[in-house]
Structure 1
């Protein structure tokens, strides 16, 4: 979000009288110039929580607790945060320099409960006020007179109803989410704040690894399925459509493998989400290119073995392919991808374990009954021979 400069450099002249205000204004102009430079490269999907510092495993440390003995009060403690707002303002809450965490106690007593199904969602929003200088750090005992050595911007926490107002403006950042169930208040463990990279948040990083494992499994299962088709020289009909899907899947994985392994985790979450939304789009296009008879046969075959209804299969693909990314709430997009990969993984795993592609469940029943009759006949024959 590009904003106009608010502070300009001081016009220093040799004969002017200096004052404290001049130095503060000059400092503000420097900070504003830095903010302006940062904001030029920021767009709607690359601001938020930054990657952890070297040697640390997380960039945000927030606690949300309901105060004991008071049903309508929630205490929020932000112990640490390394982030940048959409307007280019750096947020650096570091216990090393900040003797106290940013704290806020919110009362819900005056707010009317308007949730459905006994639930209401609130965003925890952090506001940065760079003009207000807050002393930070430990005083030097040898300095006379004693003073706090450094200053930082003022940070203010607030709680707002979700999706109301500009909670992620140039000076704001959503850092958490509270779910209200009647008189109980819980932190939304699935909420992922806006992040500049996948490695910025532990939940994003875990999904990145899980999705990568899912791709590897799908790749291996696709190769097994194609090998079964080629072994029996099956190409027309059902085996042909499944073969096309597997080859499309393998081709796409090969296209993104290097980028996913080496680059995606250092990029904004939208890049990771785009990888799998595109995969769903390509598979959906292939399925829709089949004739009506081929498509119905394919989806009914999946339903026969995996209990995935034709409507559900197409709906999950379409939802993942049509994702509208929201940087303030990336979990919804990630959840759609997780459902898509889970469904695809179950289908492909089952196909890879079949004796051949096109095998029907009723064939297995007939074969088992035939083997049982042959086994019983063989046993009787052996007893007759011994007699």
Structure 2
């Protein structure tokens, strides 16, 4: 969203009297123009931590002590705000720290976000004072930073200020405050935060694994059809696998090319879209067909009942992406990845789709040796002996 340009060029004319205010106005105009240029590449859904070459783009702590005082210490932070404001706190600028007393806050059960504000037009002297000048002067200036808080109920995607950046979240329970350690701040790319790196690794492996499962299970269903053995469960699974194979096949190369420079919203959207494709495919066999398939799934994966699969798909496709608070969406997507991968790893080990569990027919076919026996979350014990082998889970993707 384009913010208004508020600081305009100085009208220089011959013979005018010059003072420092003219140069301050000139600098404010330059700052505003640079901010506006950065604003063209960011918005309320695309802003946050910037990836760096050798280290994480943030190093800060948010601690609430026993006296209900919020202590914030930022040693390193590189980020951009929704309006193009640049946050740069490094060894060259010095550490930023501030305390906020929580005694006067309304003691209701509520979550609050901690916002770092940057004001590039209100500069703070910095550096080593030059004693050779008269009067002595700090050689440089940096933007002013300060902290504010806002209740979670008052925050939407569009009302984070153009020069604000959420760095933390804390909750109040009566008169007790505690920080939310799982909070993920806004990020431009997934390599900006360790939790998002884990998300991308799981997502990338999941899509490759689903491609592998789709091909293997489809081959078994086709083979049974050639021998004249058809059943409704196999037909529904086969139709769903065809849609899965077409979708993940379009994404794997993009995952490889973009890698960890993918945006968090893009990664989360890919998984949620896959859940929608699968749910729509199962829903197209509504009635006895869908219920029969979900009952069949729950028969082989005792962790989830037939109703749990319906709930899993519905909750996943209804996840809401919030750039200022991604953790709930990331948690939901990771749960879908883990449970779906486990389901299809079991189906892939069956001799054919449709047999009941008590029939005694259960064949584990190791057609392609991978580093996992039951999907992306279960490693084999003999991984150490396979260090010289390719660790990919999909012969198609690699």
Interval of TM-score (by shorter of Structure 1 and Structure 2): 0.7 to 0.9
Which shows bigger deviation, 165-174 or 124-133? 165-174
Kindly provide the CA deviation profile for residues 259-308 of structure 1, in whole angstroms up to 9, marking residues without a partner as x: 12222632432111111111111111111111422212111101111132
Whichever structure has more helix as a proportion of its residues is 1
In structure 2, which of residues 115, 123, 128 is the aligned counterpart of residue 138 of structure 1?
A: 128
How far apart, CA to CA, are the structure 1 residues paired with 2:285 and 2:181?
Answer: 42
- Does the aligned pair in 2 maintain the 1:71–1:184 contact within 8 Å? no
Alignment of structure 1 residues 186-265 onto 2, 5 Å: 186-233=178-225, 234-263=229-258, 265=260
How far apart, CA to CA, are the structure 1 residues paired with 2:178 and 2:286?
Answer: 50
In structure 1, which of residues 119, 123, 127 is the aligned counterpart of residue 113 of structure 2?
A: 123
Alignment of structure 1 residues 325-344 onto 2, 5 Å: 325-344=321-340
Q: Which consecutive unaligned segments of at least 5 residues does structure 1 have? A: 367-387
Secondary structure of the corresponding residue to residue 179 of structure 1: strand
* Partner in structure 2 of residue 164 of structure 1: 154
* Partner in structure 1 of residue 13 of structure 2: 13
How far apart, CA to CA, are the structure 2 residues paired with 1:215 and 1:235?
Answer: 28
Secondary structure of the corresponding residue to residue 126 of structure 1: strand
Q: Which has the larger radius of gyration?
A: 1
- Does the aligned pair in 1 maintain the 2:43–2:83 contact within 8 Å? no
* Partner in structure 1 of residue 57 of structure 2: 59
Query: What is the number of equivalent residue pairs in this alignment?
Result: 356
- Does the aligned pair in 2 maintain the 1:104–1:158 contact within 8 Å? no
- TM-score normalized with structure 2 length: 0.83
Kindly provide the CA deviation profile for residues 97-124 of structure 1, in whole angstroms up to 9, marking residues without a partner as x: 22xx221222222223211xxxx42211
- Does the aligned pair in 1 maintain the 2:203–2:267 contact within 8 Å? no
- Does the aligned pair in 1 maintain the 2:316–2:332 contact within 8 Å? yes
How far apart, CA to CA, are the structure 1 residues paired with 2:245 and 2:155?
Answer: 44
How far apart, CA to CA, are the structure 1 residues paired with 2:216 and 2:88?
Answer: 50
- TM-score normalized with structure 1 length: 0.85
Please tell me the root mean square deviation across aligned C-alpha atoms, in Å: 2.3
Whether 1:90 and 2:76 are equivalent positions in the alignment is no
Secondary structure of the corresponding residue to residue 108 of structure 2: coil
How far apart, CA to CA, are the structure 1 residues paired with 2:24 and 2:291?
Answer: 72
Secondary structure of the corresponding residue to residue 360 of structure 2: helix
CA apart distance, 1:49 = 1.6
- Does the aligned pair in 1 maintain the 2:183–2:325 contact within 8 Å? yes
How far apart, CA to CA, are the structure 2 residues paired with 1:333 and 1:361?
Answer: 34
- Does the aligned pair in 1 maintain the 2:211–2:249 contact within 8 Å? no
* Partner in structure 1 of residue 169 of structure 2: 177
* Partner in structure 1 of residue 307 of structure 2: 311
* Partner in structure 2 of residue 266 of structure 1: 261
- Does the aligned pair in 2 maintain the 1:76–1:105 contact within 8 Å? yes
* Partner in structure 2 of residue 76 of structure 1: 72
Secondary structure of the corresponding residue to residue 157 of structure 1: strand
* Partner in structure 1 of residue 347 of structure 2: 351
- Does the aligned pair in 2 maintain the 1:71–1:183 contact within 8 Å? no
CA apart distance, 1:252 = 1.0
- Does the aligned pair in 1 maintain the 2:351–2:361 contact within 8 Å? no
